[in-house]
Structure 1
Amino acid sequence: MIEKLNAIYNQAVERTKEKIIEDIERFMEWHEQKPSLTEYLQKRNQFIQHIWNNIWSNKAQSAFSVKERKKYLIEKGIAFDETNKKLVKKLFINTIIEHHPFPVMEWIKQNITEELWNQLFEETKQKRMEIEKQRLFEQTRQTVEAEIHKLIRKRIDEFFHQFYTYVRYRAAVQLKKDMNGTIRYKLVGRNWENERLVKNGYIQPEVYKQVNQFFEEFTGGYVEGYDFGKLYWDFETYGDRYFHYITDYTYDIFTDEFAANFSHVYTIYERETGKSLKQKRFIKIISDQVEKLADEFYKLIAYEYVSDLLETAEIPYDVLPHLQLLSEHQKRQEERRIQEEIERKRKQEKERRMMADVFGQATRPKGDKSVHYILHIGETNTGKTFRALESLKQASSGCYLAPLRLLALEVYEKLNADGIPCNLKTGEEEKETDGAKHVASTVEMFYEKDDFNCIVIDEAQMIADQERGFAWYRAITSANANEVHIIGSKNSKEMLLQLLEGSDITLYEYEREIPLRVEHKNFSIDHTKKGDALICFSRKRVLETASLLQRRRKKVSMIYGSMPPETRKKQIERFIKGETHVVVSTDAIGMGLNLPIKRIVFLENEKFDGIRKRRLTSQEVKQIAGRAGRKGIYNVGKVAFVYDYKKMEELLFKEDVPLKTFTIAPTNAMLERFQKYSHHLGDFFELWKKFKNPKGTVKAPLTQEQELYELIKDTEIEARFSIVDLYGFLHLPFSSGEKALTELWLETMQAIVNNDELPEPPVKRGNLEQIELTYKAIGLHLLFLYKLGKKTEASYWERLRQEISDEANDFLKKALDTHKKQCKRCGKKLSFDHPYAICDRCYNRRFYHEKNHK
């Protein structure tokens, strides 16, 4: 350690000497006349000593570890508390400064001779003169460059149109080339993670009126950008590419033709500054003005007419002919724009009248005193649905409208079991019971001309859902019955009262008899007990969790969204009967399922909503957590979270934010009125986008309808159907995001148009995923069969679907035995609590690859 200490000491001494020389030079810079060494030592005494102490302590600290510092102190016989790192550091610094001094003042007096002192002063004086000379040069150069700027601006103002004709011609030549059989691309994908370009024919000049429309097209390449200092890549458009072209063309004017007309600028620069003006410096001087001019040119070209530029490209460049051509085109442009503005206003007025006619009645209806509305408002698991159904049972005829096919099926079976004949109608199935005057249905199947004594509308807070909310709005406001029971969450109360203002309303509010209690500790999978329902937000996570619990000798039921309803029902029944002790579910458990659950456990606090992963909302937490507790079985409902239980508890007991908007969607009446103006559904979708919805409403996005429409747009399918009928097929409730189902939908539509037999849905039974997709495909087929009135065929497919559902149950059992959490790239087994879909090794490989291929 002594050798190391001596080496570091010598380094510190040499660095101190360098710093003292630097300080002397700086001291001399402050004086016009040469100061004396004595004067320096008097004024800089403390600072000189500080230089040594600072350099020596810093070098020693960074060179020796804490262990070495302790050893050094022990060798010096210094007592200290070894656990106190700050004390060890302080003692070490003080000791080395005390035991290893450097006589700075003596060194200066011995080594800074009068000759060296004079030399340093002369060098400093020379540096000061150079700095002053450079300052004067910069000042002169700035003045000269300001004059050059003025000359250039004057030249630009004087010859703006000539310069523009040159850039315009070159852009026109490039435009002609790009429009000659170039591939056209279309951006597909629902979010930035899966967006991609696909070929979409070829670029055709006649498609574009103005150049800015062409600039929106994708080139097929990429362009880099920066966001908060981070590099990212985006799809390049022709607008991006032409901006660079036009900037280059503008620089060419200055560096070639224009620079030649400014030879006197070089002379002025050299005369005033004493240095020659290099071309690189000239470009730097003019860069701001060139780029501003290029930006002006780009905007002008963007609003040119494509036909004018293509005409320009045909004429070899010469200033006078192109100035004349530009003048003719500008005159023509002005005439066109006047006509276009007249046409735009005419269309705008026509569109305004059309909107008033088509959408004018898309407002809230006035109260209807002939209908008695009974509102059942309260939290989950408070008995409000039970009470409404009791009224339904007492009615001479009735209809139950459910948010899910499973709930409609449950009420259908319950009413029939209680001796009340009931039919079932869900779009995918119809079951008729002799003498039935009641029907259980999904809310989308509501038909406003049907007349009942009593209607029950469940989960009315769904009226705010953007995709499905209009079905509830239509049912609530158009229900044709003596009594309409509406079941909703607490936050739907004010909206429902406003919606039914002026009607005969009775309000019942329900409170939980069974309290909810949050466990004040983070849950671990090892804590799973009988009566638990473990909640996660993907089918994959449900299978992983259930498989892990089964390996630990737990009997498990599963519930998730894509599970066939009949399979789900069997899973639920097994739990109710005690054949299984734990439920693993997605948030599908939160709607209408009353199970004997002791504790709800949130394995995740976030869910993917189709766009991003986000924290659960207060209402989502309440809807799911409310399933905990069952009167007479578990008189306290428990809720647990894997992490962040304090924040989640706040969400659970947070005051409900009232719903403020409900969803409106196209009605048959709107579509029928629209048919007076157009027979293209695409025109209706455009009008729907422009339609300003009434205050307190949101428009349904019609995502599925528009995506399906793109598949049949301008085909025989569109031509053969009325707008109303076509929209009905586009609106069929199925998973249109799954390619196989979309293809089946399109094949079926073509078969209907051609009067062919409907294509049979593919039946695959290889694994659980295929079974579930087959179930969905049969469901879509049944939607078509019932819509076309083919009930006999439908009965066969219903039986087959039941078989598929039974097989799904068997596959679930097999999946539990074989399913393991593993890396989706290499297949390596992952621990249950591993937070990602890939292992650390694969992640590091990917990170390294991305880092080294940017």
Structure 2
Amino acid sequence: MGKLTELHEEALQDTKRKIKEDIFRFMETKEEAPSFDDYLNERIHYIEQLWVNVWLNKVTNFVSRSEKKAFLREKDYEVEGIDKKVINQVFRNEMRDFQPFEVIPWLQGLADSQADQWKERYETAREGYLLRLEQDKIEDEQKRVTQEIMKSLINTFQERKQSWYLPVRFAVARKLVSDLKEKVRYEQVDTFMLEEQLKEIGPFNPEDYRTLSDFFQELNGLIHRTLHRGRSYWEYETYYFVYEEYVSQFVMKTFPKSLLSLVSEEHLNMHQSAFDVALSSSEIRKWMQHDFFDQSAIYMDHLQEEYVEDLLDLADSQNEEDHAAIYEKDVARRAERRAAELAELHRKKQEEDRMMDDIFGREYSVSLGGNTKYILHIGETNTGKTHHALESMKQAESGLYLAPLRLLALEVYDRLNNEGVPCNLKTGEEEKSVPGSRHVSCTVEMFYEKESYDVVVIDEAQMMADKDRGFSWFKAITKARAREVHIIGSRNVKPMLLGLLENCEVEINEYSRDIPLEVEQREFSLKHAKRGDALVCFSRRRVLETASKLQNSGHSVSMIYGSMPPETRKKQMQRFIKGETKVIVATDAIGMGLNLPIRRIVFLENDKFDGTRRRTLASQEVKQIAGRAGRKGIYDVGKVAFTKDIKRMAKLLEQEDEPVQSFAIAPTTSVFERFQKYHHDLGRFFELWEKFESPFGTQKASLYEERELYELVRGTEIEGRLSMMDLYGFLHLPFSKKEPELTSQWLETMDAIISGTDLPEPKLKRKNLEQQEVAYKAVGLHLLFLYRLGHRTEAIYWERLRDDIADGVHESLDTEVSTMTMKCKRCGKRLPSGFKFPICDSCHYSRVRKRGGRRERKDSR
């Protein structure tokens, strides 16, 4: 093997070099020149073993596995399927006797041929050895001198470091004066983007800052990289980092010089003698840099407590001898100031507490009608709770039905009118009046507490726990003015309802399923789909993708998902009810009051994204959805199937639900009225709402979407021209604020309202299913404005147009879904079936690389 020959030559040269080095080390420690035989006798074992070690290491590390196997195969070894370690061991054994190098004869020949150089080599080795000993002695002395001087310097520094804060303080005071006069103040326009997003807002005003810590929070216009929990981030730099570097440099520059001036003559001479050079401030800086850096950090802590006013006065002082007295006076004044500030903070806190109690304190206490009877309809899904409550409402002279969804309000509106009970419809997006009607079907948000009815029906009361919408249920339950209030809910809301109604007349009707639920033990796949199945997943995208697969395999399919127009959803349901479609694919919207002839509920997913994280379904969610399986007289057993984890999911069906522990609260008209006694700024209201601690058993609505919209109009003419109540009403309009097109439409409409011009018509694109769904929402938002502004005649046209769009959505579901393919939202490339993300891998990695490039550009800046 050519490789072995090459390595053999390298091993020879390495062995000879190591032996010559060993001879040199052997000679240098001897006081008299040793003979070759002396060396040989003492080092024979090392010399004999050296070749084998060098050679085996070479061939083990630099001969590939395939070459080793080829060599062993020629030696008739079986090498296929043999462990790598065994191959190496066998190969090393073979190499031990491969062209051995006779070290002793070579060394003897070398000694014979260079006998006259042996003594000369000894003298060179000995001379170098003695020089090293002398250098070691000098270095030991230098180390001793350094340690002694360092000990003295550290003691001196410890004694003086507190008094040396005074020159640091004075230098910072002068820099502060310069910065406040010459620098520009910035504010951050965009809290997420770091490129060209700073805005100059004029010069600094010293009176804006109490302490230096306040000034340190200002941005200086630069960007720097910072570490947080081990990860690197880019952020705008504040003046804290500017002054941190300034103090550090000041200390590193001045303190070594000051310490040098305090070194004793004895230590200066010791250093001169040991190093043959005078001690310098740069040498002291090098020795004590860690002490200086640590002290700089301590000085920064002291500086942050300094009052800006004191530092500005100090900067005018020309006599450094006065600085100690000034500092003592400032420290004494600082204690007085802090006591006064704490007293003022305490006063303001008490004042704010009184204001908060006045604004929010008693608003969320229960206020129930004394002559009202409350009838609870408690039970599982699909047990007839809503039917029994509505029967009572139909027989009353006047009634109000409050639904969680617009679709359910529409369903009850149609049902009552079809059964001869005139009923009006009222949702945020439409109002329909029927002559002679004294009944109303509406969404729960439309409840108005000053209206009276004989019977009020409140559906899905467990929604009280929803952090954003729950207060609408709480308000309806506690403020309803009626002879009878029928409350419909799941079993887990019963304790909460009884707590709210403990002093009232309460009748409880509990419902159980007549139709049992049966969990299938076989894992479901799409090929098992049959007539009467409802397949449940938790995103629009998954619904459409699943429906497409089923249609392409010969199934007729209905679809239901949250963003689908209610009119379209109703048509999809009717097709399933009439048997025109065999299977329905839906999100969890199917679990909210939709009565369908479903034979089997199939959970295609066991978890869902709840807006914050992806989590496993809760027991109540599984029951709510699974309860839709079975229909008396059609399917006397409701079946439930899962695609995986059947035992775990089946336990959730049997598990007792966690009781509803709290209900959501939100701002009311009364709250806003009391708030306006103190402030007229909606931004301040959001701050106080954040501070307000909701009473025990309640949970504040986040108002996140309202705050996000408010930031778009804060400080603009829109805020200036509208009353606070009117502005909040527009912020609170129920539309999908995550859709950029709708947010833009909202903003354009707000501009038109305050300018007194006609409302802009929605920009409608209707080429495909997705565009039509957005168009439907856009018209819905336009109707919200029209009804709020009282433009009911104009609303009629837009309601008709919305119905037309809903028809288009229904048609698109029939035509587009069967041929649809999931495409990357960025490049349009077709995505594989079942792909979990909206963009392809290439676009994802491209975006990651661009982010990395952007960070590099910022670094270079």
TM-score (norm 2): 0.81
Letter in 1 for 2:182: K
Letter in 2 for 1:187: D
Correspondence 1:207-606 to 2 at 5 A = 208-210=208-210, 211-218=212-219, 221-254=222-255, 258=258, 261=261, 267=268, 270-271=271-272, 274=275, 282-303=284-305, 319=320, 337=338, 339-365=340-366, 370-503=371-504, 504-506=506-508, 508=510, 510=512, 513-517=515-519, 521=523, 523=525, 530-547=531-548, 549-598=550-599, 600=601
SS at match of 2:637: coil
| Contact 2:138–2:274 (Cα < 8 Å) also in 1 | no
Aligned-partner Cα distance in 2 for 1:639–1:162 = 78
- The yes-or-no answer on 1:168 pairing with 2:173 is yes
- Once structures 1 and 2 are overlaid, which stretch shifts more, 582-591 or 646-655? 646-655
Aligned-partner Cα distance in 1 for 2:218–2:450 = 49
Aligned-partner Cα distance in 2 for 1:231–1:12 = 47
- 1:566-622 CA distance string (max 9 Å, x none): 122223323333333444444433433344445555555554444555555555455
Aligned-partner Cα distance in 1 for 2:190–2:831 = 36
Residue segments in structure 2 that go unaligned for 5+ positions in a row: 112-117, 857-861
| Contact 2:427–2:443 (Cα < 8 Å) also in 1 | yes
Correspondence 1:691-840 to 2 at 5 A = 691-713=692-714, 718=719, 723-749=724-750, 752=753, 757-813=758-814, 815-816=816-817, 819-840=820-841
Post-superposition offset of 1:166 = 0.6
Aligned-partner Cα distance in 1 for 2:598–2:360 = 47
| Contact 1:597–1:634 (Cα < 8 Å) also in 2 | no
Match of 2:75 in 1: 76
Aligned-partner Cα distance in 2 for 1:167–1:396 = 81
Post-superposition offset of 1:27 = 13
Aligned-partner Cα distance in 2 for 1:50–1:580 = 86
Aligned-partner Cα distance in 2 for 1:518–1:128 = 88
Aligned-partner Cα distance in 1 for 2:238–2:23 = 60
Letter in 2 for 1:360: G
SS at match of 2:190: strand
Correspondence 1:125-144 to 2 at 5 A = 141-144=146-149
629, 633, 636: which one pairs with 2:635? 633
Post-superposition offset of 1:813 = 4.4
> Cα distance 1:359–1:384, how it changes in 2: closer, same or farther (>3 A)?
same
SS at match of 2:488: strand
Letter in 2 for 1:161: L
- 1:436-464 CA distance string (max 9 Å, x none): 33322111111223333333322222222
> Cα distance 1:19–1:574, how it changes in 2: closer, same or farther (>3 A)?
farther
Post-superposition offset of 1:307 = 6.6
Bigger Cα Rg: 2
SS at match of 1:633: coil
SS at match of 2:359: helix
- Once structures 1 and 2 are overlaid, which stretch shifts more, 412-421 or 198-207? 198-207
Instruction: Give the % identical residues.
Output: 44
Post-superposition offset of 1:648 = 5.8
Letter in 2 for 1:170: K
Letter in 1 for 2:452: D
> Cα distance 1:123–1:394, how it changes in 2: closer, same or farther (>3 A)?
farther
Match of 2:114 in 1: none
> Cα distance 1:220–1:444, how it changes in 2: closer, same or farther (>3 A)?
farther
Post-superposition offset of 1:225 = 2.4
Post-superposition offset of 1:686 = 2.5
Letter in 1 for 2:189: K
| Contact 2:153–2:263 (Cα < 8 Å) also in 1 | no
**Over aligned residue pairs, what C-alpha RMSD do you find?**
4.9
Match of 1:145 in 2: 150
- Once structures 1 and 2 are overlaid, which stretch shifts more, 320-329 or 573-582? 320-329
Letter in 2 for 1:515: L
Post-superposition offset of 1:508 = 1.6
- 1:753-779 CA distance string (max 9 Å, x none): 566554444444455444333332332
Letter in 2 for 1:688: W
Letter in 2 for 1:432: S
| Contact 2:168–2:247 (Cα < 8 Å) also in 1 | no
Post-superposition offset of 1:413 = 1.4
Match of 2:160 in 1: 155
Aligned-partner Cα distance in 1 for 2:170–2:685 = 43
Aligned-partner Cα distance in 1 for 2:522–2:130 = 75
- Once structures 1 and 2 are overlaid, which stretch shifts more, 205-214 or 424-433? 205-214
SS at match of 2:454: strand
SS at match of 1:637: strand
> Cα distance 1:290–1:9, how it changes in 2: closer, same or farther (>3 A)?
same
| Contact 1:187–1:197 (Cα < 8 Å) also in 2 | no
Aligned-partner Cα distance in 2 for 1:373–1:197 = 61
Letter in 2 for 1:508: E
> Cα distance 1:264–1:166, how it changes in 2: closer, same or farther (>3 A)?
farther
SS at match of 1:158: coil
SS at match of 2:568: helix
Post-superposition offset of 1:624 = 4.3
Letter in 2 for 1:149: I
Match of 1:184 in 2: 187
Letter in 2 for 1:444: E
| Contact 1:379–1:512 (Cα < 8 Å) also in 2 | no
SS at match of 2:635: coil
| Contact 1:175–1:310 (Cα < 8 Å) also in 2 | no
Match of 1:202 in 2: 201
| Contact 1:171–1:245 (Cα < 8 Å) also in 2 | no
Letter in 2 for 1:575: F
| Contact 2:24–2:125 (Cα < 8 Å) also in 1 | yes
> Cα distance 1:375–1:94, how it changes in 2: closer, same or farther (>3 A)?
farther
Match of 1:670 in 2: 671
- Once structures 1 and 2 are overlaid, which stretch shifts more, 683-692 or 529-538? 529-538
- Once structures 1 and 2 are overlaid, which stretch shifts more, 470-479 or 328-337? 328-337
- 1:268-305 CA distance string (max 9 Å, x none): 78358637667665444333343344334444554556
Post-superposition offset of 1:405 = 0.9
- 1:206-264 CA distance string (max 9 Å, x none): 48334544544455643222345443323444444444444444444447x75774676
Aligned-partner Cα distance in 1 for 2:726–2:177 = 47
Aligned-partner Cα distance in 1 for 2:21–2:652 = 63
Match of 2:90 in 1: 94
> Cα distance 1:205–1:220, how it changes in 2: closer, same or farther (>3 A)?
closer
- The yes-or-no answer on 1:690 pairing with 2:686 is no
- Once structures 1 and 2 are overlaid, which stretch shifts more, 782-791 or 842-851? 842-851
> Cα distance 1:302–1:734, how it changes in 2: closer, same or farther (>3 A)?
farther
Match of 2:60 in 1: 60
Post-superposition offset of 1:30 = 15
TM-score (norm 1): 0.81
Aligned-partner Cα distance in 1 for 2:122–2:507 = 102
- 1:689-712 CA distance string (max 9 Å, x none): 222222222221222333334445
| Contact 1:172–1:310 (Cα < 8 Å) also in 2 | yes
Aligned-partner Cα distance in 2 for 1:548–1:130 = 85
